Chain A
Amino acid sequence: MTTQYYVPERSYWPILASIGLFLMALGAGTLINGLQQDGSNHGKWLLLTGAALMACIVFAWFRNVVRESRAGLYSAQMDRSFRWGMSWFIFSEVMFFAAFFGALFYIRVFAVPWLGGEGDRGSSNLLWQGFTAEWPLLQNPDSELFPGPSAVISPWGVPLINTLLLLTSSVTLTIAHKGLKTGSRATVKLWLALTILLGIVFLGFQAEEYIVAYTELDLTLKSGIYGATFFILTGFHGLHVTLGTVMLIVILLRVLKGHFDAEQHFGFEAVSWYWHFVDVVWVGLFLFVYIL
């Protein structure tokens, strides 16, 4: 069982990554606070420096890990540690989305009906006379402060296509994984590339959807709680798809460089777990944000 341990040398990456993160936070804070006073400030430079630093470190750190792994320094036990790490990381992401889904459910089941005069705290409607609770909210309680959207996005157009795209991409990724396990590298390259393509097309459609929402439907962050929940859920999902796509690209490049074999390919698997997770979140979105 457990007989071998690999303990890495001292490392510069963590402290640099902390500084990078700090600069990003400081920069983002300064920048955002500056937006309100419409003054120019150094926020964006701090943010860019931090982000650039982070990008370099992520690259260097992972290169370091990849090299150690390829040098055979990692035991099966180390591999298990990575697996636990990745699984729990994904669980934390699940909980992050859970917060937003929870907000959506609470709003729809409790807050909006109360404001509309139904249920236990229905007397709240005294303050918003004329407001009726009807989801999706096209008319907000205070329609001067928060003018509602003129319409919302139908699930059966672009969102349906996007659902099919993502579901397909999970399948193509699984085929690529099978290919890796059976040692057929051509299969891996083809299906992995296809997965990436599907991811990019998805993002393209989503961008298109956002443009329509903003320019034609007046569905924006500012259009009340429907817009707020819509954009926070789909927006964070979109960010995760973007990140997932970037990671798939990295994996593809590594495959092209000849990394991974039938037994040892945790990098590939971790990214595919992530991708499936993003896919599952989308199914939740499609159901609760678009359809219901």
Chain B
Amino acid sequence: MLTQAVAHEHHHGPPPGLMRWVLTTNHKDIGTLYLVFSLVMFLTGGCMALVIRAELFQPGLQLVQPEFFNQMTTMHGLIMVFGAVMPAFVGLANWMIPMMVGAPDMALPRMNNWSFWILPFAFAMMLATLFMEGGAPNFGWTFYAPLSTTYAPPSVTFFIFAVHMMGISSIMGAINIIATILNLRAPGMTMMKLPLFAWTWLITAFLLIAVMPVLAGVVTMMLMDIHFGTSFFNAAGGGDPVLFQHIFWFFGHPEVYIMILPAFGIISHIIPTFARKRLFGYPSMVYATASIAFLSFIVWAHHMFTVGMPLAGELFFMFSTMLIAVPTGVKVFNWVATMYRGSMTFETPMLFALAFVVLFTIGGFSGLMLAIAPVDFQYHDTYFVVAHFHYVLVPGAIFSIMAATYYWLPKWTGNYYNEYLGKWHFWLSFVGVNITFFPMHFIGLAGMPRRIPDYALQFADFNMVASIGAFLFGLSQLLFVYNIIQCVRGGYGADSRVWEGAEGLEWTLPSPAPYHSFTTPPDLREQGGEH
């Protein structure tokens, strides 16, 4: 049944040595590369966050100068978003989607390798700006013109090209995932039987292809304004700085859902597994994801309530943003209904998943508060916003990635991780995250603006608390790293199902999963619907 090529060249496992990783076309190798890259970036971006938190430990300037502080804020945001969260999800997709849909590999394996290997170069270039004259980008991860054009340090040129490279990488990665899901499904796996991780990624990939080119377009306009005399963002020539913000957020808002939709998928796998009960409301999960994606294209200006939009614009963007609470609520309710009358156990992945549901929802609530335009005039650009997006990103996106890692590690390595350490990691992270980010709501409401290296005295207490929390949270990640390394090196072996309640094709493969997932496609046509 197989073609000659598969049978001949790919029977045996991976070739040894470094070149295995450089030249590989294997989805698992590439997935691993993405995940390791993402972990390194998370630690790098995290260390920058610790610089920020250390400077903000007390009022006054102690550790760093304002110009460097701004560079840290900017690089922290960029690295976490483009270097940590996005590659982690792409890595998980690479590992799991072919296994979930019953394929041997990704649809376009060579391009898959290229998508990955662009990234280290792009980030090397971006990090190199820290050592250039005038310093690294210092205009925030949202790089509003004209601070990022006329008033930017020279390194902005390299930043622009780095963004172009990341864009190319993401678009190719997304195309690959779409082609795999649409084209490589095992016979009988209809769209409504598709595992939710694949569904959410399909929609995420669509978002990526739709908005990464827009980001490329806007940085190109910046490049033209800086070096070739155009006036896109300069009123003197008839342009408008706010134009930049519209285009950026047309990309930027879908971007934040790019960082959460795959997380929804992951949680929708983990909760049923550990509740030993089928996911409640599979079809509504799919429709809700699609609605969120659709709405994400028409809400962008909720980041711009204070730029002076006409009243009709403010109202439109306020209403459309509020609407997102409805499909997101459906998801939350479905998860809770899945737990309801289940038979729950609380292994590490489940703990992270439960924390996700609660803390993400809290982040969603503050999002909804931000969506109310008149009140956003008070919240905008304060630490209340910082609290909001860290709640959806850290105990949201990052927790889901950690949950996924614990959940699938036995499948990847064939070994169970150390459950005891995993639980410690969870509880320390959980406490740390809340100590870090919860007080930020208070200092935000009390009036502390974001992106400042020094602050007035009334914000001092909570800033100190937040800084302590950040170090606690940061240091507990060392447990995570240690646990993974130990698990890769060996341990107590896992069977193919791994978790008692796990359902889906990926659990029919042995653990560790073979180098080529399904060399013969499994046939699902006879079986009843999985969902």
Q: Are B24 and A224 in contact (CB under 8 A)?
A: no
Answer yes or no: B213 CB below 8 A from chain A CBs. yes
Chain B positions within 8 Å of A29 at CB level: 125, 157-158, 160-161
Q: Which residue of A7, A14, A100, A111 is within 8 Å of B516 (Cβ)? A: A7
Answer yes or no: B231 CB below 8 A from chain A CBs. yes
What's the Cα separation between A225 and B174 when bound, in Å?
Answer: 34
8 further interface pairs, Cβ-Cβ under 8 Å (given A11-B25, A22-B165)? A6-B6, A9-B25, A22-B122, A84-B183, A91-B210, A103-B232, A107-B238, A231-B230
Answer yes or no: B310 CB below 8 A from chain A CBs. yes
Answer yes or no: B323 CB below 8 A from chain A CBs. no
Closest to A235 in B: B224
Known interface pairs A8-B110, A228-B230; A96-B216 also in contact (CB < 8 Å): yes
Q: Which residue of A5, A12, A82, A119 is within 8 Å of B6 (Cβ)? A: A5
Of residues 89 to 128 in B, which have CB atoms within 8 Å of A's CB atoms?
Answer: 103-105, 107-111, 113-114, 117-118, 121-122, 124-125
What's the Cα separation between A75 and B183 when bound, in Å?
Answer: 12
What's the Cα separation between A23 and B236 when bound, in Å?
Answer: 36
What's the Cα separation between A3 and B118 when bound, in Å?
Answer: 32
Q: Are A227 and B230 in contact (CB under 8 A)?
A: yes
Question: Which candidate, B57-65, B77-85, B240-248, B324-332, is the interface stretch facing chain A?
Answer: B240-248
Known interface pairs A5-B6, A33-B154; A115-B125 also in contact (CB < 8 Å): no
Known interface pairs A6-B5, A33-B154; A25-B164 also in contact (CB < 8 Å): yes
What's the Cα separation between A82 and B111 when bound, in Å?
Answer: 11
A-B complex: 5 closest residue pairs judged by Cβ atoms: A99-B217, A225-B238, A142-B236, A14-B114, A228-B230
Q: Are A14 and B117 in contact (CB under 8 A)?
A: yes
Chain B interface, number of residues (Cβ within 8 angstroms): 90
What's the Cα separation between A153 and B186 when bound, in Å?
Answer: 56
Answer yes or no: B239 CB below 8 A from chain A CBs. yes
Answer yes or no: A73 CB below 8 A from chain B CBs. yes
Least distance between B416 CB and chain A CB atoms (Å): 30
Q: Are A26 and B125 in contact (CB under 8 A)?
A: yes
Known interface pairs A7-B10, A115-B238; A81-B209 also in contact (CB < 8 Å): no
Chain A positions within 8 Å of B104 at CB level: 5, 7
Known interface pairs A103-B221, A228-B237; A17-B114 also in contact (CB < 8 Å): yes
Q: Are B212 and A33 in contact (CB under 8 A)?
A: no
Answer yes or no: A21 CB below 8 A from chain B CBs. yes
Answer yes or no: B15 CB below 8 A from chain A CBs. yes
Known interface pairs A5-B2, A106-B243; A84-B238 also in contact (CB < 8 Å): no
Chain A positions within 8 Å of B250 at CB level: 99, 102
Known interface pairs A5-B6, A7-B6, A29-B158; A81-B184 also in contact (CB < 8 Å): yes
Q: Which residue of B161, B179, B234 is within 8 Å of A84 (Cβ)? A: B179
Answer yes or no: B1 CB below 8 A from chain A CBs. yes
Q: Are A11 and B110 in contact (CB under 8 A)?
A: yes
Chain B positions within 8 Å of A18 at CB level: 114, 117-118, 121
Closest to B187 in A: A1
Q: Are A225 and B237 in contact (CB under 8 A)?
A: yes
Answer yes or no: A98 CB below 8 A from chain B CBs. yes
Q: Which residue of B3, B228, B310 is within 8 Å of A5 (Cβ)? A: B3
Least distance between A253 CB and chain B CB atoms (Å): 23
Q: Are B107 and A81 in contact (CB under 8 A)?
A: yes
Q: Which of A99, A137, A226 has the most CB of B within 10 A?
A: A99
What's the Cα separation between A15 and B113 when bound, in Å?
Answer: 8
Of residues 1 to 41 in A, which have CB atoms within 8 Å of B's CB atoms?
Answer: 1-15, 17-19, 21-22, 25-26, 28-29, 32-33, 35-36
What's the Cα separation between A119 and B240 when bound, in Å?
Answer: 15
Q: Are A140 and B25 in contact (CB under 8 A)?
A: no
What's the Cα separation between A10 and B239 when bound, in Å?
Answer: 49
Q: Are B235 and A21 in contact (CB under 8 A)?
A: no
Chain B positions within 8 Å of A9 at CB level: 9, 25
Chain B positions within 8 Å of A231 at CB level: 230
Answer yes or no: A93 CB below 8 A from chain B CBs. yes
Q: Are B243 and A221 in contact (CB under 8 A)?
A: no
Q: Which residue of B125, B230, B243 is within 8 Å of A25 (Cβ)? A: B125
The 5 sampled A-B contact pairs (Cβ below 8 Å) are: A2-B185, A7-B5, A10-B20, A92-B210, A228-B237
Known interface pairs A102-B250, A103-B221; A111-B237 also in contact (CB < 8 Å): no
Q: Are B237 and A15 in contact (CB under 8 A)?
A: no
Q: Are B162 and A25 in contact (CB under 8 A)?
A: yes
Least distance between B68 CB and chain A CB atoms (Å): 21
Q: Which residue of B25, B117, B171, B216 is within 8 Å of A8 (Cβ)? A: B25
Chain B positions within 8 Å of A73 at CB level: 3, 5
Answer yes or no: A120 CB below 8 A from chain B CBs. yes
Chain B positions within 8 Å of A124 at CB level: 235
